[in-house]
Amino acid sequence: MARLLEVRDLTTCFHTPEGVVHAVNGVSFDLAEGETLGIVGESGSGKTVSMLSLLRLIPEPPGRIVRGQALFQGKDLLKLDREAIQKMRGSQVGFVFQDPMTSLNPLMRIGEQLSEPMLKHLRLTPRQARNRSLELLKLVGIPGAAHRLDDYPHQFSGGMRQRVMIAMALSCEPKILIADEPTTALDVTIQAQVVALVKDLRRRLGMAVIWITHDLGVLAGLAHRVVVMYAGSIVEQAPVRQLYKDPRHPYTLGLLGALPRVDGQHAERLANIAGRPPDLLKPIIHCPFAPRCRFAIARCWETNPALLPVSDAHQSACWVLGGTGEPFGETQVD
């Protein structure tokens, strides 16, 4: 598969009255055409900020992209001028946000909002855009689509609104769809529907998907590859099966251990990761996970490990479990 997006050393910080918050610290990853990449990590781990940084959607000031590059079809998104990046947004890269209840303008009819990107990027006439909006609503499975175009957002349920958001993100057939925790605000059954919808659309439209979540369970059936983020850095990345079978970072282990299971293999009480994420106001020299890590050795407190290769497609930033040493199976976790 051809490489579609190549992110290198992306670093973003926020200047706050309390000091500089190092939100994203040198993130590098690739995205192939048609691939689904999952990004997991807890709140504040830099998932959303790194994705917003790609399209320069973070508020500047206080935010600032310090360095890095994001090559999309050979063009560095971080160096484009304002007009060029505005042309990218929506037409090449679509975004779906976490909370469908607030992502739609309450005063605009659904049809109008859906038409907006098409009027802009595809230069359709209002009538054409309206027809295509109708098609899109049908595509994302909104019943009675023809009657819903002139409805206002408050007349839609959360799941339906998220479908509208997905339709809007897909309206210009982008090469990449970035979904930022699109199911977090939804009921579990609706979650499953939205996941199925995105899988189906991905296959039909052949786009690449970046799916941000804090739920490793959702990714299992959806992603090809998973990137695990902690404290603004990537701590592990691997093909999805390998990540579940052979996690090589204590944080990934912790996340997997915290997953509830229906087959009752784990103890009734879910494991948690002790401690809290580090304060991003202070520069961290040691491994950011060291204070919460039960495997930590002296070296972890001296230098922060870079991503070390485990196998071809698998890398981990851990002095202890990373590298090409003995696999660290699930059996040894408990």
Q: Summarize as ranges the residues that interact with another protein (CB under 8 A).
A: 55, 57, 61, 86-91, 94-95, 97, 99, 101-108, 116-117, 120-121, 151-155, 157, 165, 168-169
Q: How far is the CB of 154 from another protein (least distance, A)?
A: 3
Q: How far apart are CA 307 and CA 296, in angstroms?
A: 16
- C-beta of 125 vs 157, nearer to another protein: 157
25 or 133: whose CB is closer to another protein? 133
Of residues 35 and 180, the one with the C-beta less far from another protein: 180
Looking at the DSSP bridge assignments, the partners of residue 257 are none
Provide, rounded to whole angstroms, the least separation between the CB of residue 105 and another protein.
4
- Quick one: tokens of 298? 């002296």
The three-class DSSP label of residue 302 is: helix
Smallest separation (angstroms) from another protein to the CB of 285? 33
Give the residue with the Cβ less far from another protein, 45 or 103: 103
Q: How many CA atoms lie within 13 A of 231 on its CB side?
A: 21
Q: Are 159 and 197 in contact (CB under 8 A)?
A: no
Distance from CA of residue 281 to its chain's centroid?
Answer: 23
By C-beta, is 41 or 94 nearer to another protein?
94
Cis status, amide bond into 61, omega within 30 of 0: yes
Q: Please state the closest distance from residue 287 (CB atom) to another protein, in A.
A: 33
The least distance separating another protein from the CB of residue 179, rounded to whole angstroms, comes to 12
| Listed residue (89, 95, 86) closest to 167, CA to CA | 95
How close are the terminal C-alpha atoms of the chain, in Å?
A: 38
Rank residues 118 and 310 by Cβ distance to another protein and give the closer one: 118
Q: Of 25 and 50, which CB lies nearer to another protein in the complex structure?
A: 50
Cβ proximity to another protein, 157 vs 311, nearer residue: 157
At 330, which amino acid appears? E
C-alpha 194: how far from its chain's center?
15
* Amino acid in the structure at residue 215: D
Q: Which is nearer to another protein, 122 or 271 (CB)?
A: 122
DSSP 128-194: HHHHHHHHHHHHTT-TTHHHHTT--GGGS-HHHHHHHHHHHHHTT--SEEEEESTTTTS-HHHHHHH
> Where does 33-132 show beta strands of DSSP type E?
36-40, 63-72, 75-76, 93-96
Q: How far is the CB of 170 from another protein (least distance, A)?
A: 11
Shortest reach from residue 166's CB to another protein, in Å: 12
Report in angstroms how near the CB of residue 323 gets to another protein at its nearest.
Answer: 39
- Is residue 145 within 8 A of residue 163, CB to CB? The reply is no
- Single out the residue of 230, 263, 267, 266 nearest to residue 249, CA to CA: 230
Q: How far is the CB of 79 from another protein (least distance, A)?
A: 17
Cα dihedral across residues 259, 260, 261, 265: positive or negative: positive
